[in-house]
Structure 1
């Protein structure tokens, strides 16, 4: 999700002396301080939540304040992570247009993206401080402290992002283009402000202007998705309604404060741990010993390894990064082409979107109220169906593979590899059992996985590089901040759409779709493939999930079934070229030019679509094992 294909690259220059050097020092100092605080917050979250589980189920003395404290720290972690992501240029965005323009125009678009983001932050700073001031009168129930400790994360984070943006602009070497972009941004803001009287009389047509035209223009010009949503929502509420902006701050805070979403950074951290401790390598080694001697065997191993690793990390980038260095070199030795490998890797990214503890599953459960335990149970078998469809394509493509130089691994060695991998293979089942049996919540169970992985790395696999922990935690905070800011801005945007009456209009329209429930499912599949390719999965789900799930329920579609169908459709859009950023993420991790994988991926996309249709028209696959 934050691969080089979707990063904002801010050109900088090293200034030897004078004010420029002082700005560079200040920027570096600020960045380092924010990173260290974010690292400390992640460690505190793990300690607090794991202590809560241990106290409740081991000592039988529940700590009533752990969730509240974890929630307060989580908002601070999300905002500081967003600051780091902005400084590093790692906020999610679409670069399909930017990648195809001339270098000079690209610099202009980069400048516009930076200036548009800064414009929103400046406009939003005062309402954020106002919201924190109002929250200071509220006392939290468990800790009995002012809620300002929680709400202050918003204005502080926004102020730090403003400071970071200014530092990056001062240090840029493309000052002429940046000045042009700033002028264009200010001119657009002035036009909208002067047009307010006209906009007030347009009624619901403003939804098209702000949530279609403005969002599309921002997204395609490279403005990060979170800021695109935020600008459109702020403009709609400020220019066409009487809604105080502090209300938008409250909705953004609500979207970023769901405690269940704390599982996002913790599972990202867990995904990095399984790669560092050698757990992923042990699992892949066992699968390769079983299937490496058959035609297409290592491709089957890739499909199976992504299935297993997805069940642990919950992050597709972490999954791919763990598997690629282990499998790709050997597959290339056997004659596999890099384009074929990255195409299959991208396809397995879409196939494994529903394997618990998927971040997307957690997100859709938090915004729609669907049981996380039910989603964890319902997502396992559908992923098997799509995996089998991919294996059919693999079997066809590798039917003539030459295996004359590949030796079959003896059973004794296979058994030895199984014993080595067994502790790692057990982790997905430990995680699922802890949630389903009620030992821990979907948030708390991530800390069990973290502690389990640390113990395995230290005591079993003897691979634990303490020097890598801080960089891993910084990367965790960065990705988490980018994700949570999108969720917060998309929540505010979804609220604005609901208040406008759009949700009721959409429900009425979708309820009258020909074909009843299956017609609605087919349209949802098409819509989420498009949304997944343009907006990326999480913002698409946060934005449209609350709008479409009531319609699905009215048509008697099971919540879990609809969730699985929607997630797979979104995943196919996310990992399919030419717009899907997940595909470019796979190319970046595999160090392959995206054009090399284009000719190979369409067969896998077709297999995924066939599998999705099977899951769509056979609801039992998603709901058959739900209690």
Structure 2
């Protein structure tokens, strides 16, 4: 947000307050990441080395996890790192963008104010309940929602005071009061509208909030709270209950661990060692570095939980030499963006873990099913690279001798082996995704310290804070989308959707094709995690009724959402790739279409040949 010249209060006072609040919350969130990693590492060691599982570890891990999710959400809000749709506000004139930002913060503050009383009641309802093993009050876990909501409210007001003028705040409050007053006056009409109310709240209001650039998670919460308040007698205490249920799933414990692991891989030097070996294999060929980029994305993708982290770990190491060989910068950034789509289904993808969490599909089966579709996408992109690099200048390319190549291979083994071990352990059922991620974190730290000897301890604290922020952003979306999906189910929308989708022409093939198109659109607007949490519980039961294999359907959905995420002009991932590649989106957009066309062909093949997704199950 642009800093207003005349804010609501002296900048020095609120700058100091903001700094103190930020330091406190970030330190607490970083400490929770460490505590979670130590606890899970201890529990995993006790289970596998000493055959003495800690019966209480899951309960304590869940309590810490909910607190980490909420404090991470506070950090993400303070740093502007929540998932948002920025397409519309990005193209506004500066003055109108400042007004939109102020209105967004006022609406965020309003929904957080509305959440505090039901969150308090939710905590009070759990004071008497006790956890089965630790026998502590369940209020210790549920209080995280109340504290996190209050801290997000303070953060939102703090940002509003620092960055908005009194006139902008007054105008935003007026707009909000007009909206609220209109909904209040329309309450008698809502009883007669039935499910058309969903268009008002979950299409109109939700779309308006997202177009303002509000965090997607809080847009979901606002739409849900408004829908329940204005159209039903359901108590709002159900909203924090749904948020908690969505974020408390033990499967999601893998999210912060994989986010942490992805960051540590780069710091410890594993990513650079893998890239150096791949360059020694094919770097001297025409298009060789492009093939290296695709191969490196295949190896490291999915581990960090963030495509931005995957791309940022690879692009800086390859782009300078690529440009020396005469490659157009727009083509390189376009390929980087497309490689992230190709690798969406590669385990341990956070989206795949989310699919398993909200739909009950086996995560091991999803990990197995996601590998070959990514290969199909990579082959399609390799064809585009081959056609584009037939005249590449190879005068500066150097062929690496066999002895050097062997040394680089030995040096890269610790890095090359980690993704393979992770995927094999989960697929074969040796360990859960959370346990494997924890082992990976310990392994990466040891390798960085004792093998590569370049582990920079000064980067650990920022990594812990980044992990908390990204995890909080992801998990708040999961909780908020769970609440929104529950409201949709209560409205009877799910039954109407089942009837409409089941009656589509073309039977199950028509259903899968329409689903793919829908997930491309959803992926461009909502990103993968919120889209799958919101629509997975609605669409997967339909897939079962139509005898569509769940793993196959999940892979189609995830690949389609990835395609939407990196497709301009709406796809947020496309702009992330441009930012990482330091290129103007206007320049890159002219080069993106061959790569997108190749990925569309790959998606059609994945849909038409289910064996690609389920042949190895």
Residue aligning to 1:318 = 309
2:411 aligned with 1:420: yes
2:332 match: secondary structure: helix
Q: 498, 503, 518: which is aligned to 1:507?
A: 498
Residue aligning to 1:268 = 259
Within 5 A, what are the aligned runs for 1:51-62?
A: 51-62=42-53
2:231 aligned with 1:231: no
2:11 aligned with 1:11: no
Q: 18, 21, 30: which is aligned to 2:12?
A: 21
2:163 aligned with 1:172: yes
Residue aligning to 1:117 = 108
Is contact 1:569–1:612 with CA below 8 Å preserved after alignment?
Answer: yes
Distance 1:271 1:437 in 2: 22
Give a deviation string over 1:58-111, Cα, whole Å, max 9, x none: 011110111111111011011001111111122111111112221111111111
Is contact 1:90–1:478 with CA below 8 Å preserved after alignment?
Answer: yes
Q: 206, 213, 216: which is aligned to 1:215?
A: 206
2:238 aligned with 1:247: yes
2:572 aligned with 1:572: no
Q: CA deviation at 1:408?
A: 1.3
Is contact 1:115–1:182 with CA below 8 Å preserved after alignment?
Answer: yes
Is contact 1:112–1:223 with CA below 8 Å preserved after alignment?
Answer: no
2:268 aligned with 1:280: no
2:464 aligned with 1:479: no
Residue aligning to 2:130 = 139
Distance 2:161 2:9 in 1: 13
Distance 2:6 2:500 in 1: 56
Distance 1:380 1:418 in 2: 23
Residue aligning to 1:331 = 322
Distance 2:405 2:79 in 1: 44
Residue aligning to 1:368 = 359
Q: 58, 69, 76: which is aligned to 1:78?
A: 69
2:522 aligned with 1:531: yes
Give a deviation string over 1:294-339, Cα, whole Å, max 9, x none: 1111001111010001153343111111101111111111111221
Q: 604, 607, 611: which is aligned to 1:616?
A: 607
2:90 aligned with 1:99: yes
Give a deviation string over 1:458-514, Cα, whole Å, max 9, x none: 011111111100011111111111111111111100001011111111011111111
Q: CA deviation at 1:186?
A: 2.4
Is contact 2:524–2:565 with CA below 8 Å preserved after alignment?
Answer: yes
Residue aligning to 2:189 = 198
Q: CA deviation at 1:192?
A: 1.4
Distance 2:132 2:447 in 1: 38
Q: With structure 1 as the length reference, what TM-score do the two structures score?
A: 0.96
1:293 match: secondary structure: coil
Distance 2:346 2:305 in 1: 8
Distance 1:160 1:179 in 2: 23
Residue aligning to 1:126 = 117
Give a deviation string over 1:407-453, Cα, whole Å, max 9, x none: 21111111111111111000011112222333321112111110110
Distance 1:27 1:404 in 2: 54
1:76 match: secondary structure: helix
Q: CA deviation at 1:43?
A: 0.5
Q: CA deviation at 1:18?
A: 8.6
Distance 2:65 2:6 in 1: 35
Q: CA deviation at 1:23?
A: 2.7
Is contact 1:315–1:358 with CA below 8 Å preserved after alignment?
Answer: no
Is contact 2:259–2:303 with CA below 8 Å preserved after alignment?
Answer: no
Is contact 2:364–2:429 with CA below 8 Å preserved after alignment?
Answer: no
Give a deviation string over 1:89-144, Cα, whole Å, max 9, x none: 22111111112221111111111111111110001110011001101111001111
Is contact 2:303–2:347 with CA below 8 Å preserved after alignment?
Answer: yes
Distance 2:81 2:305 in 1: 19
Residue aligning to 1:158 = 149
Distance 1:377 1:133 in 2: 44
Distance 1:588 1:311 in 2: 20
1:312 match: secondary structure: coil
Residue aligning to 2:348 = 357
- In the alignment, structure 2 segments of 5+ residues that lack a partner are none
Q: CA deviation at 1:577?
A: 0.6
Residue aligning to 1:592 = 583
2:592 match: secondary structure: helix
1:498 match: secondary structure: helix
Is contact 1:314–1:356 with CA below 8 Å preserved after alignment?
Answer: no
Q: CA deviation at 1:521?
A: 0.9
Give a deviation string over 1:15-64, Cα, whole Å, max 9, x none: 9x996533322221111010001001000111111111110110111101
Distance 2:380 2:159 in 1: 47
Give a deviation string over 1:507-531, Cα, whole Å, max 9, x none: 1111111111111111011000001
Q: CA deviation at 1:174?
A: 3.0
Distance 1:438 1:548 in 2: 27
Distance 1:91 1:610, change over 3 A: same
Residue aligning to 1:5 = none
Distance 2:597 2:205 in 1: 33
Residue aligning to 1:33 = 24
Distance 1:42 1:591 in 2: 31
Paired residues, what number?
617
Distance 1:14 1:71 in 2: 44
Residue aligning to 1:443 = 434
Distance 1:20 1:399 in 2: 57
Distance 1:382 1:25, change over 3 A: same
Distance 1:307 1:436 in 2: 17
Distance 1:11 1:189 in 2: 28
Residue aligning to 1:6 = none
Q: CA deviation at 1:173?
A: 5.0
Residue aligning to 2:512 = 521
1:249 match: secondary structure: helix
Is contact 2:337–2:574 with CA below 8 Å preserved after alignment?
Answer: yes
Q: CA deviation at 1:198?
A: 2.0
